Amino acid sequence: MNPRLTRQELLRRGAAGGALLAFPSLLAACGGGDGGSESSGELKDVLNFENWPYYMDTKETRTAAGLTGPTTLEQFDQEKGIKVNYYEGIDSNDGYFAKIQGQLSQGQGIGRDIIVATDNSQFPSLYVSEEYVQKLDKSLIPNFANLIDAQQSPGFDPDRSYSLPWLTGIDGIGWNEELTGGPVTSMTQLFTDPKLKGKVTLLTEMADTLGLVLIDNGDDPTDVSDEAFDRAIKSVQDALDAGQILKFTGNDYGPPLARGDFAACVAWSGDLAQLVLENENLKWAVPEKGGIIWTDNMFIPLGGSVPTASTYMNFVYDPKIAAQIALGTGYISSVKGVKDEALKLDPKAGSNELVFPSDQTLANLHMNDPNMVSNADFITTWQSVKGQ
């Protein structure tokens, strides 16, 4: 092949390359699809609900919790005649967002009426600010009044126009007592105890890990200043440099912890309840200085049916239903009166502080600052700590 490009060839290739660059933007311009939002409108007889796995009561979990009768989804069908197609496709907030944001940005529906996102990530704010979600029809949600006070006005949705909490969990410290020799009660201990050197893991999610570190440093996790953030980062970086931290894990820390790959880690309340059945040396506790509480919220994406979704939300905000869901999943509900209902159904389970926390317990738990999780600089700094 002739190595020297003639002028004609150069022009031709340049034009081709330019066309290649221009073509996609033309595509983007003529996009818009035909799946436009059919927001208001009639009640449908099918609800498409996308959720995290293990986040709904099932026959097995109900039996284990001492509940009888059909699942809440089946009860909804019986009561309202609306069948729920329940999907457990949310593996992570960021992964799921990446998957659906393209269609939502073009105004296309994604085939779902309800999706769920965690408030300790940037995504609830993004869903609202980018207008990827629709407003609830509160006229169809009289049970809205049952929403607990603490959840009335989150940073990403101050009027609760777009979302309602689904379930809540707690970040704490999990450890393998056989390997640690005793309880692990603070992040400081995680970071400095020589017995734990190289046997500690942290969660990759910034809000989970840094939230606990902020509390440990005496800072307020609900309102994070730049200095407080830097202090928290420094604590983590120092521990990393000292070889104290083995690695950052996603949600899959359970089996390695139980197997003994590491001795202690940041962990959620729900997971450890299961793991203890496999290895009774596993323990979990909220750090003495305080823990972080996070909440998954229901949203109605573009293209979803607002009346149908709102009807479902109203259904699950009945304390009787909410109690069953909490008992059947092991996570905390945001519905008033849920503890009383739970005690009626199963006195023992109803007094589980981790699923039905008392006000005293709640006083030691804090939410993340929504500004922190959406702050691009904070995110970049956190990523570089993790080597990304």
Contact mark string toward another protein, 33..72, x via CB under 8 A:
xxx------------x-x-xxx------------------
- Of 83, 135, 138, 386, the one binding another protein (CB under 8 A) is 386
Give the three-state DSSP class for 53.
coil
Residues in Cβ contact with 161 at an 8 Å cutoff, skipping those fewer than 6 apart: 135, 136
Nearer to another protein, 23 or 182 (CB): 23
Distance, CA of 353 to CA of 349 (rounded, Å)? 9
Give the three-state DSSP class for 276.
coil
Q: Which of residues 83-122 bind another protein (CB under 8 A)?
A: 86-92, 94-95, 97-99, 102-103, 106, 108, 110-112, 122
Query: For residue 34, what is the DSSP state?
Result: S
Taking alpha carbons only, the member of 373, 378, 323, 387 closest to residue 124 is 373
Q: Which of residues 240-269 bind another protein (CB under 8 A)?
A: 240, 246-248, 250-252, 254-256, 258-261
Nearer to another protein, 151 or 269 (CB): 269
Other residues' Cβ atoms within 10 Å of the Cβ of residue 75: 16
- Of 40, 63, 78, 380, the one binding another protein (CB under 8 A) is 380
- Contacts with another protein by CB under 8 A: the residue count is 70
Nearer to another protein, 42 or 60 (CB): 60
Tokens of 49: 């609900």
Taking alpha carbons only, the member of 168, 184, 27, 174 closest to residue 106 is 27
Query: For residue 295, what is the DSSP state?
Result: E
Contact between 81 and another protein per CB under 8 A: no
Burial status of residue 341 (CB atoms within 10 A of its CB: 0-12, 13-18, 19 or more): buried
**Residues near another protein (CB under 8 A):** 1, 20-21, 23-25, 27-28, 30-31, 33-35, 48, 50, 52-54, 86-92, 94-95, 97-99, 102-103, 106, 108, 110-112, 122, 126, 129-130, 240, 246-248, 250-252, 254-256, 258-261, 271, 274-279, 376, 379-380, 383, 385-388
